[in-house]
Amino acid sequence: MGSEERNTERQHGRDYHDPPPAPLLDMGELKQWSFYRASIAEFIATFLFLFFAVSTVVNYKEPNYTDQCSRVGSLGIAWAYGGMIFVLVYCTSGISGGHLNPAVTFAMLVARKMSLIRAAAYMVAQCLGATLGVLFVFAFMYADEQQNSDGVVNVVSRNYSKGAGLGVEFVGTFVLVYTVFSATDPKRNARDSHVPVLAPLPIGFAVFVVHLATIPITGTGINPARSLATNLIYRGTAEAMDDLWIFWVGPFLGALAAAVYHKYVLRAGAVKTLKSFRALGSFGSQPPV
């Protein structure tokens, strides 16, 4: 940023700088190592996330435990998902942004924080990493009870309708993506120097709380890569396959709503755009001198 831009921001009382919108197609990224490094980081992080999180669910299903205190329960599963997100976002945020979720990546694309090429690479890496992580869990857990799909594959509970499942996935992903945008907002980072260190914490807590609320309804998707991987590896029932679209459409719609809400409502992006159009219109309506 040039000195003139800094002076302008100081005059307007701004102590932060919004990065310029990312180009939709940036072919130059394909020539940069940072692009591939970030994609690899997303692959490894999503692999680790699914391996440990799904392992928690699978071991919870093991029926041979006689001591009820040894069971983690829904609370433990929620902690496993939220805790792993906290750790892995902290580890990878400086490399790839720590998305670990195609819905989060889609939201960043909508907000023009990344190019279409990078978003596509992230989503492919996330789905491959998630599939490999679940495959490792399936390979290491030999008991028949642990290799069935109950509790692992996302499916709408019989007590709820498909619409309820879709709504839960929409709201849950909205909470997650809204938290991501709020925790990484450059305006907040400029005024609170400790926020960049603590940003993964509210994101992890958002995942934790959403799991507590939605595990009984859908098993908590809010991550299309997770839902796809568990369905592919654990060969979910026909009902689960029929419900798979819910765990893609719901999260993507929730991510879209959160991105639009944060960018165009909270950050007044729509107002700024309207003002710029009005300024251009008034300038164009002036008679030539």
Of 100, 103, 56, nearest to 77 by C-alpha is 56
Domain hosting 169: range is: 32-61+72-143+150-265
Going by C-alpha positions, the residue among 226, 227, 183 that lies closest to residue 93 is 183
Q: Is residue 36 included in any domain, yes or no?
A: yes
Within 10 Å of residue 180's Cβ, how many Cβ atoms? 28
Query: Is there a domain that residue 2 lies in?
Result: no
Predicted local distance difference test score (pLDDT) of residue 44: 97
CA–CA separation, 268 vs 265, rounded Å? 5
| 169 in a structural domain | yes
What's the N-to-C CA distance of the chain in angstroms? 33
Q: Is residue 287 part of a domain?
A: no
Q: Are 72 and 62 in contact (CB under 8 A)?
A: no
pTM over 0.85: no
Within a domain: 66: no
At residue 218, the pLDDT reads 92
Closest CA to 166 of 134, 123, 214, 121: 214
85 touches 100 (CB < 8 A): yes
Question: Is 286 inside any structural domain?
Answer: no
pLDDT of residue 166: 96
CB 95 within 8 A of CB 38: yes
The CATH number linked to 207 is: 1.20.1080.10
- Given the structure tokens 């990224």, which residue do they identify? 29
Please name the residues in contact with 9: beta carbons below 8 A apart, sequence gap of 6 or more: 15, 16, 17
pLDDT score of 283: 46
How much is the pLDDT for 246? 94
Could you tell me if residue 252 is inside a domain?
yes
CA distance 133 to 51: 4
H or E, element range at 258: helix 246-260
Q: What pLDDT is attached to residue 41? A: 97
Q: How far is residue 121's CA from residue 246's CA, in Å, rounded to a whole number? A: 23
**Closest by Cα among 151, 168, 131, 188 to 61:** 151
pLDDT at position 147:
57
In a domain, 248, yes or no: yes
Distance between CA 108 and CA 180 in Å, rounded? 10
Total domain count, the chain = 1
How far apart (Å, rounded) are the C-alpha atoms in residues 5 and 87? 36
Q: How many CA atoms lie within 13 A of 266 on its CB side?
A: 15
Q: Could you report the average pLDDT of every consecutive run of 10 residues in the chain (289 residues)?
A: 47 59 82 93 97 86 53 84 95 92 96 93 97 92 61 88 95 96 75 63 95 92 94 78 91 96 78 52 48
**Rounded Cα gap, residues 129 and 53, in angstroms:** 13
